[in-house]
Structure 1
């Protein structure tokens, strides 16, 4: 009988119905921050979803649906340095898997895609010089609520 009392004192309390329905606190170190951005105008749509994993890695998804062009959707992996995200975009378009480097500059609550001269390196397109990119695009991806 003493053994049963000792076991009862050392056991964890059972979860109540009230506790079961309550959201659990999450540790910010294991719950990465997600930010979503979108451009939509006259039938063109671009969406960018970024997930900050740690100081060196940011992942996400990118989708282009531009009028009279083939749509493509894929994944991103790169990093954010200051106000610039640079990463590799791996996507499928017309059944072909491709990779190209992308760059987005954060301005306020928006991102603007950078363009510049590219070269092919190991089967992927890469910017020749990140420092000379042009961010004068009319496509501005505004921050939106993530779904």
Structure 2
């Protein structure tokens, strides 16, 4: 009888043993939280450029997609800074199965962004603007603010 009590006691102890906690998936308290900024798009019957931005606590990140007629579609992520009305970011994307990184620049005008172009140079495999102050923002492809999906 005593061995039966011991077995019952061991069974109860095993059943009461707490399960280990699962790893918490929350970001650490000091990690920057991604806060939405806005979404922008240029769209015609043939061409679409979509820019989705989030504020990541000091930096700006998001997604950028180009679908231009007679050009290969490319989609990727951006990470950079928004200083005043200028967004300067590295765009990492895949096109034709190859991953590339190039710098992009957009100027905020009202509720829209206009992409900037300028002379570039290759620095460690990344196309970068030679002089950010000489970027020209005169593109006819104005990315208007749209509701984020």
Give the ranges of 4+ consecutive aligned residues of structure 1 lying more than 2 Å apart after TM superposition. none
Name structure 2 gaps, 5 residues minimum.
1-31
TM-score by length of 1: 0.78
Q: Structure 1: state its 5+ residue gaps.
A: 1-28
Cα shift at 1:31: 5.4
Equivalent residue, structure 1, for 2:49: 46
Deviations 1:38-88 (A, max 9, x none): 00013100000010111x211000000000000000000001000000000
TM-score, normalized by length of structure 2?
A: 0.77
State the 1:33 CA deviation. 2.3
Deviations 1:66-124 (A, max 9, x none): 00000000000001000000000000000000000000000000000000000000001
Question: Which of 68, 77, 97 is 1:66 aligned to?
Answer: 68
Distance 1:134 1:41 in 2: 23
How far apart are the structure 1 equivalents of 2:72 and 2:119? 22
- 1:34 CA drift (Å): 3.0
The equivalent residue for 1:116 is 118
**In 2, Cα distance between equivalents of 1:131 and 1:89:** 19
Alignment of 1:130-145 (within 5 A): 130-145=132-147
Q: Give the RMSD, CA atoms, in angstroms.
A: 1.1
Aligned CA distance change for structure 1 residues 30 and 94 (closer, same or farther; 3 Å): closer
Q: Which residue does the alignment assign to 1:76? A: 78
